[in-house]
Amino acid sequence: MKNLKYSLLILISAWGLFALGACKPKQTDPSKLTMTSPKGKTTVDPFTGLEIMVETAEDKKFKLYQGPEPPRQVTEKMSAFPVPPKTDMERRDYGPLEVLRAHPLGKVQNMGALTISFNQPMIPLTDLEQEKNQSIPFSIDPKPQGAYKWLGTSVVAFEPDRRFPFATRYVVKIPAGTKSAVGGVLKEARQFVFETPRVTLHSSLPYGSQSHVIPETAIVLIFDQHIDPTHIASKTTITQGVQEIPFTLVPKEKWKDVKPWGKQSKNWKADRTVVLQPKAELKKDTSYLVTLKRGIR
């Protein structure tokens, strides 16, 4: 009986294993798996059983862009020996040389420098030390103390040490035939003129038509700009009628002693003031005329 039970158990187990083996998926011959589209084209791969990928309109929009170029390879290029001679390059024609601008012109008040601009470079690119040796393409008459300076290659300036003296007419000339650094030639001579302000009498002591002046009075002349006292004295006369009154030029250190203006001398500018002292006392009840001649500066 016991042996019968074991036999039944073995039989049941064997049947269970057979049933499990029967549950495997049924494999179909790939050659028989064919799918066709409505147009009759095969859409399934007969070997893999997978659907064949078909290019769509969206796929056509994709573009494969070219990647970056490969880096350049370092190579050595041998030069010919001996080195071939250089050929002359074609020279460009820049046309005639012209003056674009000159400053200042006419009557001027305040100015720092005289400048002239050209349409072509007048000097090669050099350092400042070499620029000092370059020729200057213009002249100025009269020429005050100062220095020329190149502001680049086509603009030249003249800077006076102090300022251009006033009451002076200056003439600037650029001769015909002046050449630029690139070969341009100035066809016609150019000339420019400018004038600095004339000396003007700012005030005087005694003032014009003043009465009740003491006979010992000094004559004080105050100007609007720097002047040379000796030059002013040489251009000044004091007259009574047709008689000329002699006088002396009072030095600055004695201004405080002149009558009756000595106390005011501390307010006078030394480079703009001239003090004249008649050699004899002036007459009472008499009119005198102080005259400044033309050409003062």
Tell me: do 103 and 191 sit in the same domain.
Answer: yes
CB 97 within 8 A of CB 180: yes
Tell me: do 212 and 266 sit in the same domain.
Answer: yes
Q: Domain ends where: 195, 220, 235?
A: 195
CB 111 within 8 A of CB 104: yes
Tell me: do 235 and 175 sit in the same domain.
Answer: no
- For residue 4, the model assigns a pLDDT of 46
- Report the predicted TM-score, pTM, of the whole model to 2 decimal places: 0.55
- For residue 60, the model assigns a pLDDT of 67
- For residue 101, the model assigns a pLDDT of 95
Rounded distance between C-alpha atoms, residue 138 and residue 197, angstroms:
23
- For residue 62, the model assigns a pLDDT of 67
Number of domains in the chain: 2
Nearest Cα neighbor of 126 from 92, 102, 90, 150 is: 150
Q: Domain ends where: 166, 195, 224?
A: 195
Which residue range forms the structural domain that includes residue 186? 99-195
Tell me: do 212 and 286 sit in the same domain.
Answer: yes
CATH number, residue 225: 2.60.40.1220
- Which phi and psi angles does 7 have, rounded to 5°? -65, -40
Sequential DSSP letters for 227-282: --HHHHHHTEEEEETTEEPPEEEPPGGGGGGSTTTGGGGGGS-TTTEEEEEESSPP
| pLDDT (tens place) for every residue of the chain, 297 residues total | 545 444 445 555 545 545 455 555 555 554 444 445 555 566 677 777 777 777 777 766 666 777 788 777 767 666 667 766 666 555 678 899 999 999 999 999 878 899 999 999 998 877 555 666 578 999 999 999 999 999 989 999 999 998 888 888 999 999 999 999 999 999 999 999 999 988 899 999 999 889 899 999 999 999 988 899 999 999 999 999 999 999 999 999 999 999 999 999 999 999 999 999 999 999 999 999 999 998 887
Flag whether 37 is in a domain.
no
Tell me: do 170 and 218 sit in the same domain.
Answer: no
Return the residue matching tokens 């990647």.
67
Tell me: do 213 and 179 sit in the same domain.
Answer: no
Nearest Cα neighbor of 271 from 234, 241, 226 is: 226
Q: Domain ends where: 195, 215, 245?
A: 195
Rounded distance between C-alpha atoms, residue 73 and residue 266, angstroms:
85
- For residue 2, the model assigns a pLDDT of 46
